[in-house]
Structure 1
Amino acid sequence: MKMNTPKLFTYMLAFLFVLASCKQQAKEKPEQEMDEVEATTETPEITLEKLEGSPAYADAVLQLEEPSNLQIADGGSVDFSFTVNDYELGAQTAGPNAEQLANSGKGQHIHFILNNQPYSAHYEPAFAKEIPNGVHHLVAFLSRSYHESVKNENSVVVKKLEVGANATDSLGLDMEAPTLIYSRPKGTYAGKDAENLLLDFFVLNTSLSEDGNKVKATVNDTEFMITEWAPHVIKGLPVGDVTITLELVDAEGNMISGPFNKVTRTVSLTE
């Protein structure tokens, strides 16, 4: 049967239209599948929640006994000795937080911080530390087994150490000024410990409030304003390096002058 030219042309146009539609559908399908993959691999939201449920230890006391003279002749190994009352070093802190946070198997301890550098943990009241020549800001406080600081007026020791015959104060220390001391998080977290990171710090010579001084916490690129001196838990962190910056700021959000009032630390999270 002989087909006339108009019908042949119509059939050819229909065929080309169907072919183009099939190609377009084939092109769109991978893009749709890619969108679905991207939706399922979104970065989780980083959140900051106040930690509740820790025993208060309101009567716990930490006192520095040695060195009794805070003007030390020479830098090097210095013996430190503390008295601890109404608090048991080496004991596991009771309550659910020991299961939810990275917890030390060695128990409760002292956080020893020199010039707002990363702390060393001490499970006995006497130990030696290497202290270089110079003027140094010492903060030591009692810590629960999961590294949350005990926050009362007697649980912390704050001293100025002058080490060396001609010690110079390169920090410009004002022991009465509002001061922020970083404690946690610290180091590397793996597995379950990486799910909930304790954010904890000490504030000296000030208080925090909605209409007063505050601590601005920046976790990677997410900012939080902390208006209460309390421990918090960071959740939703990605695996890898996490950068935490803490700043002590005034009611208008301006950083309060001081050598330690802005500090940045990096911790690592692994599977």
Structure 2
Amino acid sequence: MRVKLAFFLFLFSFFLLSCQSSTKKQDLSKVKLLPLPALALDQDSSIQMRGFNYQNGRLSMIVQNLLLGQAVDSLRKRGQKYIPLGLHLHLVLNDSLHAAQNDRNFQIDIPDGPQLFKAFLSAPNGQVIRAPQAFVCRDIEILKQSVRKSIPNRQAQIAYASPLGQFSPQESQNVIVDFYRYNCEIGPKNYQVLLELDQKRSWWIQNWQAHSLQNLPPGPHQIQLSLYNAQKEKVYGPIAEEILILEEE
């Protein structure tokens, strides 16, 4: 029986993370960013996310031709985090509330008023599924825990996908960084994403594919993503998350 597992991932305070980690100065000179191969699911055009319903505090995503919760054993690799949710979906509200779940039904309190609502699918190693119809990006209006208005958002933008949470020393060997892009193409002569690590190291991502941060030292780290146009003008972001690499025991 598939066990339904749901959790909500909120932004962590950098101060709280610092209290859990070593106060030693971190050496980021050995950190590398390497591209990762695409998922086979990326080419499956039958996988679709055909919108959502939100009534009385209950959110239902309409996902077709993907079994949420399914394990992907080929993605269980040494030195890499494997998320026990299996295949799952992400909800992002105003780039602040971030929820991940392997069930299409959510019980969630969305505040009244205008909201930017984004959703996408993910594999259990943290890579997003780039199937061409497997996403949602809409401006919504909420009143009394129900959606009253929903229109497509046409702005070029991104949604942060990974990494999230904490990582064991072994998992820190290969920390996957990924994002979903909306209303734009990523390429050397097109939109690009700037990845900043602790505001000390940075890399330009010029192709829409997952990457691996390698050799992250123990302690808290901030991952920050920003979208730039072909003229290297920032058009969206930054979006930042805090992660924690645990010390060896």
TM-score by length of 2: 0.78
| Among 66, 69, 77, the residue aligned to 1:87 | 66
Aligned residue for 1:210, secondary structure, equals coil
Determine if contact 2:172/2:215 at 8 Å carries over to the other structure.
Answer: no
Aligned residue for 1:161, secondary structure, equals strand
Structure 1: give runs of 5+ residues left out of the alignment: 1-40, 166-172
Matched letter for residue 52 of structure 1 = P
Instruction: Compare 96-105 and 154-163 and name the one that shifted more.
Output: 96-105
Determine if contact 1:54/1:97 at 8 Å carries over to the other structure.
Answer: no
Residues 97-117 of structure 1: per-residue CA shift (max 9 Å, x gap): 554421122311111111112
Determine if contact 2:39/2:129 at 8 Å carries over to the other structure.
Answer: no
Structure 2: give runs of 5+ residues left out of the alignment: 1-25, 145-150
| Bigger helix fraction | 1
Aligned residue for 1:95, secondary structure, equals helix
| Among 86, 91, 104, the residue aligned to 1:112 | 91
Matched letter for residue 62 of structure 1 = M
Q: Which residues of 2 match residues 129-144 of structure 1 at below 5 A?
A: 129-144=108-123
Task: Provide the alpha-carbon RMSD of the alignment.
Answer: 2.3
Residues 37-69 of structure 1: per-residue CA shift (max 9 Å, x gap): xxxx975511111112532242311223423xx
Q: Does 1:265 align with 2:241?
A: yes
Aligned residue for 1:194, secondary structure, equals helix
Determine if contact 1:143/1:150 at 8 Å carries over to the other structure.
Answer: yes
Aligned residue for 1:119, secondary structure, equals strand
Aligned length: 213
Q: Does 1:208 align with 2:186?
A: yes
Residues 153-194 of structure 1: per-residue CA shift (max 9 Å, x gap): 2111222220138xxxxxxx9921211211111111123122
Instruction: Compare 118-127 and 96-105 and name the one that shifted more.
Output: 96-105
Aligned residue for 1:208, secondary structure, equals coil
| Among 140, 160, 172, the residue aligned to 1:182 | 160
Structure 2 Cα separation of the partners of residues 87 and 200 of structure 1: 20
Structure 2 Cα separation of the partners of residues 130 and 233 of structure 1: 34
- TM-aligned CA distance change 1:148 to 1:206, over 3 Å: same
Structure 2 Cα separation of the partners of residues 126 and 51 of structure 1: 31
Structure 1 Cα separation of the partners of residues 76 and 36 of structure 2: 8
Determine if contact 1:44/1:236 at 8 Å carries over to the other structure.
Answer: no
Structure 1 Cα separation of the partners of residues 86 and 142 of structure 2: 32
Which residue does the alignment assign to 2:8?
Answer: none
Matched letter for residue 112 of structure 1 = L
Structure 2 Cα separation of the partners of residues 139 and 224 of structure 1: 25
- TM-aligned CA distance change 1:204 to 1:42, over 3 Å: closer
Structure 2 Cα separation of the partners of residues 250 and 179 of structure 1: 10
Residues 187-234 of structure 1: per-residue CA shift (max 9 Å, x gap): 111231222111011111101111121001111211100111111110
Which residue does the alignment assign to 2:35?
Answer: 50
Structure 2 Cα separation of the partners of residues 43 and 150 of structure 1: 29
Q: Does 1:255 align with 2:234?
A: yes
Q: Does 1:122 align with 2:85?
A: no
Which of these two proteins has the greater Rg computed from alpha carbons? 1
Instruction: Compare 216-225 and 56-65 and name the one that shifted more.
Output: 56-65
Residues 83-127 of structure 1: per-residue CA shift (max 9 Å, x gap): 322211111124245544211223111111111125211111112
Matched letter for residue 130 of structure 1 = D
| Bigger strand fraction | 2
Aligned residue for 1:103, secondary structure, equals coil
Q: Which residues of 2 match residues 1-271 of structure 1 at below 5 A?
A: 44-52=29-37, 54-57=39-42, 58=44, 59-67=46-54, 78-96=57-75, 98-164=77-143, 175-220=153-198, 221-256=200-235, 258=236, 261-271=237-247
Matched letter for residue 219 of structure 1 = L
Aligned residue for 1:253, secondary structure, equals coil
Higher relative contact order (Cα pairs below 8 Å, separated by 6+ residues): 2
